[in-house]
Amino acid sequence: MKILLRNAKLADPERNAQQTGDLLMEDGQILGAGGHITVSDAEIVDCTGLVVSPGLVDMHVHLRDPGFTEKEDVLTGCRAAAAGGVTTLLCMPNTRPAVDEPDTVAYILEKAQHADAHVCVAGALTAGLAGKKRTNLRELMEAGVTAFSDDGHPVENSRIMAEAMQEAAELHMPVLSHCEVPELTAGGKMNEGAVSQELGVPGVPAASEECGTARELALAEALQVPVHICHVSTKASVALIRTFKKRGVPVTCETAPHYFALTEEAMRSKDANLRMSPPLRTEADRRAIIEGLHDGTIDAIATDHAPHTPAEKEDFLQAPNGVIGMETSLAAGITFLVKPGYLKLTQLLYKMSAAPAKLLGLPYGGLMPGAAADVIVFDPEEEWTVDPEKLHGKSKNAVFKGMKLCGKVKRTYYAGRLVYCDQPES
């Protein structure tokens, strides 16, 4: 059946274009976008005052499936994705078992056939994410992975990392690196600094991330192979990446909404739902992240969606790191980047759709005829308060809980199928 989105503000980040007009979809494809489209046999949706854009591509998600399905699974994670306007996601390999064998890849992809979003899989760089033995990257690629990463763990052995980066480059596959020096991070619960000292809480020094980032940049330059740096959170990391980019090193990176929205000051509440790795940093770091997004040093925005059960998050010091974020990422971007004037809406959407799609080699992120009908409809002005009980995943560890955000997803279409529709409260 044809679906016509009538009189929308069409935002195409791939072309950096905005116009008011219609968008027509059928059989999982966009048939037309722009101007007044006349059609007699379509479901017509009035989108007056609403923005229509490509679905978001979240290149850093933990679905916890297999092995930790009490926290999330492929289907519930994709329901949360749809509610946040995410139509494509890359799931990380720190499952049980880890995604280090073709059978595990096959399990995820099979389950994803019934999901409400495209699920791409990151295969592990090392067996069991232990950092000691490289996986068979070619075998994992042939099984269907989209990228390689040991996210959740750094690959501590530099030779193993170098060899993996070289092989991945030969396979034309991206490598996503979790940059951390475990000896520096060990025991830390939040950013090491004035607030951690005041609270008497063990800290994680910024140098842990920065030393790991520096190694990956040095390897990429020496080997002349690409690397993608995950969840950048510090001022020095941004400066390092900017410098190496200017030297022509093939490096890209991402950050997450909590790093441009929040700081270590939020940790005074000792709420474990604000703990993640890397941790919330200082105001100077937050400003550097925003500048990195503004000047193009930071290529993409991803959520690092990491569900944990309420029981796990009860104790501030004992809780595991990780926060959920797919349902709030677009609103956080509008609230903390677009409204203050740091990015235009199309620039935000580019970093959340077309850019991550390009980094992963995926054909998404535009509204051109023939493109996939992965489309979201949202109101950039609607304010709403984040209530974890109203979110769609299994876990409730929302980093923005209780906060008022601006920008609300109203409809999400995945392959032309309506997978989410915001129902106003009666």
* Contacts of residue 184, Cβ cutoff 8 Å, sequence gap at least 6: 204, 205, 207, 208, 211
* CATH number, position 386: 2.30.40.10
| Residue from 412, 288, 378 nearest 10 by CA | 378
Question: Which stretches in the chain have pLDDT values below 50?
Answer: 426
Same-domain check for residues 87 and 136: yes
Q: What is the pLDDT of residue 423?
A: 81
Output the domain CATH number for residue 213: 3.20.20.140
Which of 359, 393, 413 is a domain's end point?
359
**94 shares a domain with 193:** yes
Domains identified in the chain, total number: 2
Range of the domain at 28: 2-52+372-421
> What pLDDT, in 10s, does the model give residues 207-232?
999 999 999 999 999 999 999 999 99
102 and 238 part of one domain: yes
Per-residue pLDDT reduced to its tens digit, 132-171:
999 999 999 999 999 999 999 999 999 999 999 999 999 9
Q: Is 116 a catalytic residue?
A: no
The answer to whether residues 83 and 106 belong to one domain is yes
Q: How far apart are CA 409 and CA 23, in angstroms?
A: 17
Amino acid at 168: A
pTM above 0.85, yes or no: yes
- Both 324 and 230 in a single domain? yes
Residue 421: which of 70, 97, 82, 77 has the closest Cα? Answer: 82
47 and 64 assigned to the same domain: no
| 397 domain-assigned | yes
Do 121 and 215 lie in one domain? The reply is yes
Question: Is residue 256 included in any domain, yes or no?
Answer: yes
- Looking at the structure, tell me whether residues 133 and 250 fall in a common domain: yes
Assess whether 379 and 252 both reside in one domain: no
367 is a domain residue? no
Whose CA is closest to 203, among 266, 272, 279? 279
pLDDT of 425 reads: 60
Tokens of 162: 């170098």
Q: Is residue 97 part of a domain?
A: yes
Q: Does residue 364 sit within a domain?
A: no
Q: Following DSSP, what letter does each residue of 254-307 receive, concatenated? A: EE-HHHHH--GGGGGG--GGG--SSPP--HHHHHHHHHHHHHTSS-EE---B--
Distance CA 376, CA 253 (A): 25
- Give me the sign of the Cα torsion angle 79, 83, 86, 90: negative
Q: Name which of 8, 107, 85 is nearest 50 in CA terms.
A: 8
CA–CA dist 367, 171 (Å, integer): 29
- CA gap 52, 345 in Å, rounded: 12
Query: 22, 116, 304, 379: which is the annotated catalytic residue?
Result: 304
Give the chain's mean pLDDT: 97
Q: Which residue, 359, 389, 409, sits at the end of a domain?
A: 359
Q: How far is Cα 384 from Cα 403, in angstroms, rounded to an integer?
A: 8
Looking at the domain assignment, is residue 366 inside a domain?
Answer: no
Q: Are residues 277 and 208 in the same domain?
A: yes
Residue 426 counted as domain residue: no
Cβ neighbours, 10 Å, residue 141:
20
Torsion angle defined by CA atoms of residues 377, 383, 389 and 390, in that order, rounded to the nearest 10 degrees: -30
User: Distance between CA atoms of 361 and 372, rounded to whole angstroms?
Assistant: 15
Is the domain of 42 the same as that of 97?
no
- Nearest-CA neighbor of 158 among 132, 184, 129, 122? 132
What is the tens place of the pLDDT at every residue in 367-394? 999 999 999 999 999 999 999 999 999 9
Same domain, 300 and 315: yes
Between β-strands 417-421 and 404-414, what pairing exists: parallel, antiparallel or unpaired? Answer: antiparallel
Contact 4, 42 (CB under 8 A): yes
Q: Give the position of tokens 């990446």.
A: 241
Distance CA(282)–CA(206), nearest Å, equals: 10
Angle at 104 between CA 98 and CA 109, to 5 degrees: 125
Residue 231 lies in a domain: yes
pLDDT of residue 302: 99
**What is the rounded CA–CA span in Å between residue 56 and residue 356?**
9
